[in-house]
């Protein structure tokens, strides 16, 4: 493994992303806003547990940052609001859903990354009346916490002694969103294809822009 050394500064690999420095007060305000939204989401989760939501599902997706840095995302969906509108040949179903999520992805020779987030999505589903098959589109917003674990050994100097740093890495807050597309496979399974964007606010007051592609399935839990 390659040893990386630094003196009273953090070590970061050469990366292709461009960072834009922001004032310290803006960074603190962003952290406060994200923490407040996460707390509000947790309260909504407890409310849903009590009220027994009508629809629940688990999503399992390939999560590729920039499409090619491989990873996996697992999320859990709960319906908050639902509205149906009937037409001649189909039913249009609109839903507001909450989806807590955990994702892992890997940068070769650089880092292992864990993203814990909360997604709020608005799903519009078009259901065929004849066979009950459907397609849906789902724009969403995401807020969360991202942790990097650097690959390889990292060292620092303390009192002129070189010491190994355990669990070396960094922490970031993320805010973003995009959209998913999906549809009917069977009574229990849906297919899902998605695109994800999120802005990452790092400990060094940088804003990094991340893009991910998703491909996976959703498993409906309350199907009889």
pLDDT of 16 over the 80 cut: no
- Dig out the tokens for 102 from the structure: 């955990």
Question: Is residue 39 classed as helix, strand or coil in its secondary structure?
Answer: helix
pLDDT of 10 over the 70 cut: no
pLDDT at 26: 47
Question: Is residue 42 classed as helix, strand or coil in its secondary structure?
Answer: helix
pLDDT at 34: 57
For 172-191, the pLDDT digits (tens) are 899 998 999 999 999 999 99
- What Rg do the C-alpha atoms of the chain give, in angstroms? 21
Domains of the chain plus CATH, in order, are: 4-8+18-220 (2.40.160.20)
Q: Which residue has the tokens 């547990």?
A: 49
Buried b (16+ CB within 10 A) or exposed e, 113-130: bebebbbbbebebbbeee
For 33-77, the pLDDT digits (tens) are 555 555 555 555 545 444 554 689 999 999 988 878 899 999 999
């Amino acid at each position: 493994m390659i040893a990386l050394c630094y003196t009273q500064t953090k070590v970061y690999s050469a990366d292709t992303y461009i960072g834009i420095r922001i004032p310290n007060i803006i960074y603190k305000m962003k952290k406060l806003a994200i923490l407040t939204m996460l707390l509000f989401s947790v309260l909504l989760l407890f409310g849903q547990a009590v009220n027994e939501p009508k629809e629940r599902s688990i999503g399992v997706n390939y999560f590729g940052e920039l499409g090619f840095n491989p990873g996996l995302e697992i999320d859990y969906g709960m319906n908050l609001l639902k509205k149906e509108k009937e037409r001649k040949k189909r039913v249009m179903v609109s839903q507001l859903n909450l989806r807590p999520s955990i994702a892992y992805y890997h940068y070769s020779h650089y880092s292992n990354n864990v993203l814990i987030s909360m997604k709020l999505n608005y799903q519009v589903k078009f259901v065929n009346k004849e066979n009950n098959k459907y397609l849906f589109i789902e724009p969403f917003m995401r807020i969360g916490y991202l942790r990097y674990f650097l690959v390889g050994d990292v060292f620092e100097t303390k009192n002129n002694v070189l010491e190994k740093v355990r669990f070396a890495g960094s922490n970031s807050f993320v805010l973003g969103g995009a959209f998913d597309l999906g549809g009917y496979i069977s009574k229990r399974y849906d297919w899902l294809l998605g695109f994800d964007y999120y802005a990452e606010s790092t400990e060094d007051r940088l804003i990094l822009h991340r893009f991910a592609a998703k491909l996976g399935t959703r498993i409906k839990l309350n199907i009889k």
